[in-house]
Amino acid sequence: MRIMIVGAGSLGLLFGAKLFTVCDHITVVTKTREQAEALRMQGISLDGDKVISTNSNEHNIRFQSYDESVKEDKHPDFLFVMVKQPAIRDEFISYLKDSMSAGTIVVCFQNGIGHEEKLISAVGSDKLLLAVTTEAARKEGLTKVDHTGHGITYLGSLTRKGGPPQASQILLQDLLKTAGIEAEVSNEMEVRIWSKLIMNAVINPLTAILRVRNGELLESPWAMSLMRELYDEAMLVAGAKGIELPDNLWKTLLHVCKATAQNHSSMLQDLMQAKGTEIDSMNGSLLRIAKELKLELAVHQTVYCVVKALE
């Protein structure tokens, strides 16, 4: 089995370290040559242990940067897209298409909504799987990652909502399980995607604005009040779109916040590192849909503006 992981952030490094032991060959594509060179020299450290060491004959993993040639690896079985949504532009999509062979399946791990339509148009719905993961990881450096929370990865197609799982879905599910990553094929990917979108749109901007860890939101009645208002507004949009979400999603959101209590959200990490955030693909997406539906999301509009100002 040949895997190509495009994006060497926290999840990219985590999945690369886990899958290394069960794949014939893995290519990890980084944003910068600096990180690619560091990984070539040092390997990957997971939870403080050197999982991939450059001192042994581990030739089944290759590190390269986004601007390096991929001619040798144009036949991955699965191509994991693990960059943040704003990176999925026309140039990036061309890069993906150049990296694929006729049998390659693209697996998209992005938060938010909107990117899947671009990728379906580019590679075709039969070549695209969507993934929603609750695995939590924190990147500690160019080559180090901590697995901060175990979760589950749901796999499925947005266009195929019934019938038995496809062979590629079962194959990938089994591969992830063998690597120690809990995985499940789902026929309800729209529900999975919207559920995670709403949880991210509630937790991420508030932790970013307040500069707190996820669990600290639960310690303040004022923060909890804002969380509930953001949640109710998001559910209003989902309902207007005809998307039926679980009745216990609010409880699930609080559980996720508690389970990742010590984590800095990705949006907070981006601001701390003076990077752009995913606010446009999270709260921004909800605001765009709400505008089309002639709905007002006053709290989402406020937190959106504050995060954009902080950017």
Look at residues 131, 161, 187 and tell me which one is the last residue of a structural domain. Answer: 187
Domain of residue 138, residue span: 2-187
Q: What is the mean pLDDT of the chain?
A: 90
Section 90-113 average pLDDT: 89
Report helix, strand or coil for 117: helix
Q: What is the pLDDT of residue 162?
A: 59
Look at residues 187, 218, 237 and tell me which one is the last residue of a structural domain. Answer: 187
Task: For residue 187, give Cα distances in angstroms to 11, 175, 209, 245, 260.
Answer: 24, 19, 35, 14, 27
For residues 175 and 225, membership in a common domain is answered with no
H-helix or E-strand containing 79? strand 78-81
Q: 60-84 pLDDT, tens per residue?
A: 888 999 887 655 556 899 999 999 8
Q: How far apart are CA 280 and CA 284, in angstroms?
A: 4
For residues 106 and 166, membership in a common domain is answered with yes
Q: What is the pLDDT of residue 58?
A: 57
Q: How far apart are CA 115 and CA 131, in angstroms?
A: 12
Q: 182-234 pLDDT, tens per residue?
A: 999 998 888 999 999 999 999 999 999 999 999 999 999 999 999 999 999 99
Look at residues 187, 211, 233 and tell me which one is the last residue of a structural domain. Answer: 187
Q: How far apart are CA 166 and CA 158, in angstroms?
A: 13
For residues 162 and 271, membership in a common domain is answered with no
Q: How far apart are CA 302 and CA 298, in angstroms?
A: 6
61-65 β-sheet, strand order: 61-65, 25-30, 2-6, 78-81, 105-108, 128-133, 153-156, 183-185
